[in-house]
C-alpha cells in the first residue's frame, strides 16, 4: 500500500477509549456485598485491564448482559445490536437469519469466538447468532477493525469474544421462564458450583420455541417457527502455582420453518417452503501454565462440527461444516514490556452432499507475535503481526499497531491494522437463497483490508464522553453478479470499498440513575457495476440511541430506550430504492423479591414493521433464488415479553 494511503487512513480514523468500561462492576445478585471485579480483557491475549489496553476494546459487562437477558433470553442478537458501531443485519427474512456488521463492514468479516475459540466455526452461519443463549456469559469483548494479526483471516472486520461466566465460591444458579406476545417461549437453566479446591464447573441448558407468524396476512411467514435446545457444560481449574484451564463442550439442535404458509403461494402461484435443520457439537480447551518465574505457556484447541439440512422450495441441500483449531504460545512480562509469540493452525471444511462442486478445505498454519511496551505510566505502544500460509490464497502478512496515551482524565488511542479474508460461497445472498443458482467459483482473490482509528475519551465524576473516528479500505471485495435470469456468480469488485465514520457517546450517572446518548455516522461506498461509486446497501448513514436506566441492586430496574435508524440504499427492491428512517422505542422493568424476580419488556412500541410500508415478497423470484426483498426495518413489529426468574 502506498505510504500516502496509510497516512490518509490514520488521519481520518479512530478507536474508542471506553473509559466507562473500566469502571464497570460485575454484580451477581446471588452474592452478598458490592465487590468490584476488575475487567481483564481476554481477546487481546495480554491480560491487561480494559483501561490499560492500547488496542480498542469495548466490554459489555455482566450487569448489561443481565438487562438484555430479560429482553431476549434466547439469543445474543439484542445484546450486540444495541452496542455502538455494531449492527445486527437480517440476511434472510424467510428464516430470520442475521449476522453482525462492524462499523459498516459486511457480516462475514466478523469473527465470533467463545473464550477465544472458534466454537461456532471459522465463518459463523447467519443463523448462528440466533442460536447462542446469553445466560452463561460473564462479559462480551468487542474489537473493531482488522484483528487478523492475532486471529487470522476470519477477523478482517473485527472480533466479538464471548467470555464464559466463572463460578463463585458457593454453588449458585438460576431458572428463567419467558413468554412473548408473538407465541414465543424460552426456558433456560444455569448452575455453577465448586467441585474441589482447584476445580469448579457450570452447566447451562435451554429450550426455545417460536410459533410461525404471518403479520400482514400475505401468506408469507414474517416470523419463522423454530424449536431449539442447547446444552453446554464447562470445567474450570485453577492451580496453586498460577496455572488455569477451561474445558468446554456444547451441543445444539434446531428446527426452523419459514416461507409460504400452509395452502398459500408466492405471487407466481407456487408454494415455497424454507426450512433449516441444524445439529452442532463442539469441544474446546484453554490452558495456561507457568513454565518459569517469568514465562507462561498457553495451549488452545477446539473442534466443531455442524450439519445442516436446508430447504429452498423443492431443493433440499444437505451439508456439513467442520472447524479444527490448535494454538501453542508463550508469553512473558517484565516491569514495562510484555511479549507473546506462538504458532497456530486452523482448518475449515465444507462438504455438500447436494452440490459437491462447492466443497472446500481451507488450512492456514500461522506464526504470530505481539509486544506491548509502557514508555511511561501515560504512554503505551503495542505491535502485533501474523504470517499465514493459506492453502488456497498463499502467504499473507497481517500487522497491527496501536498507541495509548492517558494524560489525566483523558484517554487517547490510535490504531492501524491490515488483514485478509478467504472467500467462500457463503455471502449473505447465498446463505439466504442456497447454492442451486450459483455458478462454480472461479479464480477469486483474497479480500484484503486496511483499517485505522483515532479516539479521544474523557471521564470525570459522573460524566463520560467519547469520540471515535474510523476508516477502512477493502480491496477485491467479493460480490454477487447476475449471469442470467436464474444464474449468479461471485466476482471480485474492481476498486476499493471504503468506509469512513465516527462514533460519539455521552453518559451521565447520578446515583442509581444513568442516561446515555450515542450517535454513529457511517459513510460507506463501493464501486458501481457500471463505473463510478455508490453508497453501500443496507448501511444507514445516521444511527442514534438514547437510554435512561434506573437500577438498584436487590430491588429492580426500570429503563427506557429509543433508537433511530436513518435512510439506507436498497438493492434489487422493486418497491423503493431508499428505505424510510424510523425510531424503535422500548420500555422494560424488573421487580425483585428476594431470589425471585418478575420482568416485563415492551419492544418496538411504535410497531415499526417493514411490511407496513411495502411487501416483503418479491413479484417474481430473484436471479439468486431469493423470494424476499432485503430487510431494512424490523420484521416482527411490536413484541411484549415477560416472565419470572428464580435464583438459587
Q: At 458, which CATH number? A: 2.40.170.20
- Scanning the structure block, which residue is given the C-alpha cell 476445580? 199
Taking residue 636's Cβ as centre, other Cβ atoms within 10 Å add up to 20
Is 491 or 146 the better-scoring residue by pLDDT? 491
Give the Cα separation of 640 and 160 in Å (integer): 28
Taking residue 451's Cβ as centre, other Cβ atoms within 10 Å add up to 30
Give the pLDDT score at 9.
46
Is pLDDT at 11 greater than 60 in this prediction? no
- Element of type H or E holding 22: helix 19-22
Task: For residue 463, name the pLDDT band (cuts at 50, 70, 90).
Answer: very high
- The mean per-residue pLDDT over the stretch 326-343 comes to 94
Mean pLDDT rounded to a whole number for the chain: 90
> CA 154, 504, 12 angle in degrees (round to 5)?
65
Task: For residue 26, name the pLDDT band (cuts at 50, 70, 90).
Answer: very low
- The mean per-residue pLDDT over the stretch 219-242 comes to 95
Give the Cα separation of 447 and 123 in Å (integer): 14
Is pLDDT at 590 greater than 50 in this prediction? yes
Give the pLDDT score at 639.
97
For 492-534, the pLDDT digits (tens) are: 999 999 999 999 999 999 999 999 999 999 999 999 988 899 9
Q: Are 535 and 500 contacting, i.e. CB atoms less than 8 angstroms apart? A: no
The grid coordinates of residue 60 equal 459489555
Task: For residue 56, name the pLDDT band (cuts at 50, 70, 90).
Answer: confident
Q: Are 566 and 542 contacting, i.e. CB atoms less than 8 angstroms apart? A: yes
Is pLDDT at 4 greater than 60 in this prediction? no
The grid coordinates of residue 621 equal 423470484
- Scanning the structure block, which residue is given the C-alpha cell 442478537? 77
Give the Cα separation of 277 and 107 in Å (integer): 22
Give the pLDDT score at 206.
96
Give the pLDDT score at 7.
45
Give the Cα separation of 354 and 338 in Å (integer): 50
- Phi-psi region at 447: left, alpha or beta (left = phi > 0; alpha = psi -120 to 50): beta
**Least trusted range by pLDDT, from 148-152, 559-563, 594-598:** 148-152
Give the Cα separation of 333 and 290 in Å (integer): 12
> CA 91, 94, 99 angle in degrees (round to 5)?
20
Distances (CA, A) of 519 to 104, 389, 466: 14, 40, 11
Is pLDDT at 342 greater than 90 in this prediction? yes
Give the pLDDT score at 96.
86
3-state secondary structure labels for all residues of 197-231: CCEEEEEEEEEEEECCECCCCCCECCECEEEEEEE
**Least trusted range by pLDDT, from 74-88, 219-233, 368-382:** 74-88
Is pLDDT at 125 greater than 90 in this prediction? no
pTM over 0.85, yes/no: yes
**Torsion angle, alpha carbons of 147, 148, 154, 155, to 10:** 10
Split into its structural domains, the chain has a count of: 1
> CA 84, 464, 69 angle in degrees (round to 5)?
45
- The mean per-residue pLDDT over the stretch 82-106 comes to 88
Give the Cα separation of 269 and 312 in Å (integer): 16
Is pLDDT at 40 greater than 80 in this prediction? yes
Is pLDDT at 6 greater than 90 in this prediction? no
Give the pLDDT score at 43.
80
- The mean per-residue pLDDT over the stretch 468-483 comes to 95
- The mean per-residue pLDDT over the stretch 160-174 comes to 94
DSSP label at residue 432: H
Give the pLDDT score at 22.
33
Percent of all residues in the chain with a pLDDT value above 90, rounded to a whole number: 78
Distances (CA, A) of 222 to 211, 216, 258, 386, 513: 11, 8, 8, 44, 37
- The mean per-residue pLDDT over the stretch 229-249 comes to 95
Percent of all residues in the chain with a pLDDT value above 70, rounded to a whole number: 94
- The mean per-residue pLDDT over the stretch 396-418 comes to 95
Domain extent at residue 565: 3-647
For 529-562, the pLDDT digits (tens) are: 888 999 999 999 999 999 999 999 889 999 999 9
Residues 6+ positions from 51 with CB-CB distance below 8 Å:
18, 19, 21, 22, 411
The dihedral built from the CA positions of residue 508, 514, 517 and 518, taken in this order, carries a sign that is: positive
- Scanning the structure block, which residue is given the C-alpha cell 419459514? 258
CA-based nearest residue to 190, from 169, 208, 170, 176: 176
Amino acid at each position: 500500500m502506498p505510504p500516502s494511503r496509510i497516512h490518509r487512513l490514520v488521519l481520518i480514523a479512530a478507536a474508542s477509549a471506553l473509559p466507562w468500561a473500566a469502571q464497570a462492576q460485575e454484580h451477581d445478585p446471588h452474592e452478598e456485598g458490592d465487590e468490584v471485579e476488575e475487567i481483564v480483557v481476554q481477546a487481546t491475549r495480554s491480560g491487561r485491564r480494559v483501561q490499560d489496553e492500547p488496542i480498542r476494546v469495548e466490554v459489555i459487562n455482566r450487569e448489561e448482559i443481565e438487562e438484555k437477558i430479560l429482553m431476549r433470553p434466547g439469543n445474543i442478537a439484542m445484546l450486540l445490536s444495541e452496542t455502538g458501531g455494531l449492527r445486527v443485519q437480517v440476511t434472510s427474512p424467510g428464516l430470520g437469519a442475521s449476522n453482525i456488521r462492524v462499523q459498516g463492514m459486511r457480516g462475514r468479516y466478523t469473527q465470533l469466538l467463545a473464550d477465544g475459540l472458534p466454537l461456532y466455526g471459522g465463518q459463523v452461519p447467519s443463523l448462528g447468532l440466533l442460536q447462542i443463549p446469553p445466560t452463561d456469559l460473564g462479559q462480551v469483548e468487542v474489537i473493531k477493525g482488522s484483528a487478523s494479526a492475532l486471529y487470522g483471516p476470519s477477523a478482517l472486520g473485527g472480533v466479538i469474544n464471548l467470555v464464559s461466566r466463572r463460578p463463585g465460591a458457593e454453588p449458585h444458579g438460576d431458572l428463567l421462564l419467558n413468554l412473548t406476545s408473538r407465541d414465543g417461549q424460552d426456558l433456560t437453566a444455569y448452575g455453577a458450583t465448586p467441585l474441589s479446591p482447584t476445580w469448579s464447573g457450570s452447566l447451562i441448558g435451554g429450550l426455545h420455541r417460536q410459533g410461525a407468524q404471518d403479520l400482514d396476512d400475505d401468506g408469507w411467514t414474517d416470523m419463522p417457527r423454530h424449536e431449539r435446545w442447547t446444552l453446554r457444560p464447562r470445567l474450570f481449574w485453577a492451580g496453586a502455582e498460577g496455572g488455569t484451564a477451561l474445558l468446554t463442550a456444547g451441543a445444539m439442535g434446531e428446527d426452523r420453518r419459514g416461507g409460504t404458509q400452509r395452502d398459500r403461494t408466492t405471487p407466481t402461484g407456487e408454494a415455497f417452503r424454507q426450512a433449516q435443520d441444524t445439529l452442532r457439537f463442539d469441544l474446546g480447551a484453554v490452558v495456561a501454565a507457568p513454565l518459569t518465574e517469568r514465562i507462561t505457556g498457553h495451549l488452545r484447541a477446539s473442534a466443531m462440527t455442524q450439519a445442516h439440512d436446508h430447504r429452498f422450495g423443492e431443493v433440499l441441500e444437505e451439508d456439513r461444516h467442520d472447524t479444527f483449531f490448535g494454538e501453542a504460545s508463550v508469553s512473558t512480562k517484565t516491569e514495562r514490556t510484555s511479549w507473546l509469540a506462538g504458532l497456530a493452525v486452523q482448518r475449515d471444511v465444507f462438504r455438500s452432499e447436494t452440490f459437491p462442486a462447492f466443497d472446500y478445505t481451507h488450512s492456514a498454519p500461522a506464526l504470530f507475535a505481539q509486544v506491548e511496551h509502557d514508555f511511561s505510566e501515560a504512554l503505551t505502544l503495542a505491535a502485533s503481526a501474523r504470517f499465514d500460509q493459506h492453502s488456497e490464497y498463499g502467504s499473507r502478512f497481517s500487522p497491527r499497531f496501536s498507541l495509548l496515551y492517558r494524560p489525566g482524565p483523558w484517554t487517547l488511542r490510535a490504531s492501524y491494522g491490515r488483514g485478509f479474508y478467504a472467500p467462500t460461497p457463503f455471502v449473505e445472498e447465498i446463505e439466504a437463497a442456497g447454492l442451486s443458482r450459483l455458478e462454480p467459483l472461479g479464480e477469486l482473490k483474497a479480500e484484503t483490508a486496511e483499517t485505522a482509528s483515532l479516539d479521544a475519551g474523557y471521564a470525570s465524576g459522573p460524566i463520560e464522553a467519547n469520540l471515535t473516528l474510523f476508516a477502512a479500505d477493502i480491496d477485491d471485495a467479493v460480490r454477487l453478479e447476475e449471469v442470467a435470469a436464474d444464474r449468479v456468480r461471485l466476482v471480485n469488485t474492481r476498486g476499493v470499498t471504503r468506509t469512513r465514520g465516527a462514533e460519539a457517546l455521552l453518559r451521565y450517572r447520578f446515583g442509581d440513575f444513568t442516561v446515555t446518548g450515542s450517535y454513529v455516522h457511517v459513510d460507506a461506498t463501493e464501486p458501481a457495476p457500471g463505473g463510478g461509486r455508490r453508497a453501500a446497501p443496507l448501511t444507514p448513514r445516521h444511527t442514534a440511541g438514547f437510554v435512561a436506566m434506573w437500577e438498584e441492586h436487590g430491588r429492580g430496574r426500570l429503563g427506557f430506550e429509543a433508537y433511530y435508524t436513518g435512510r439506507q440504499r436498497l438493492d434489487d427492491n422493486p418497491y423503493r430504492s431508499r428505505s424510510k428512517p424510523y425510531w424503535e422505542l422500548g420500555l422494560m422493568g424488573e421487580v425483585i423479591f428476594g431470589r425471585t424476580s418478575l420482568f416485563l419488556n415492551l419492544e418496538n412500541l411504535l410497531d415499526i414493521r417493514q411490511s407496513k410500508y411495502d411487501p416483503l415478497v418479491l413479484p417474481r423470484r430473484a436471479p439468486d433464488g431469493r423470494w424476499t426483498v432485503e430487510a431494512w426495518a424490523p420484521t416482527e413489529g411490536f413484541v411484549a415479553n415477560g416472565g419470572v426468574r428464580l435464583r438459587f
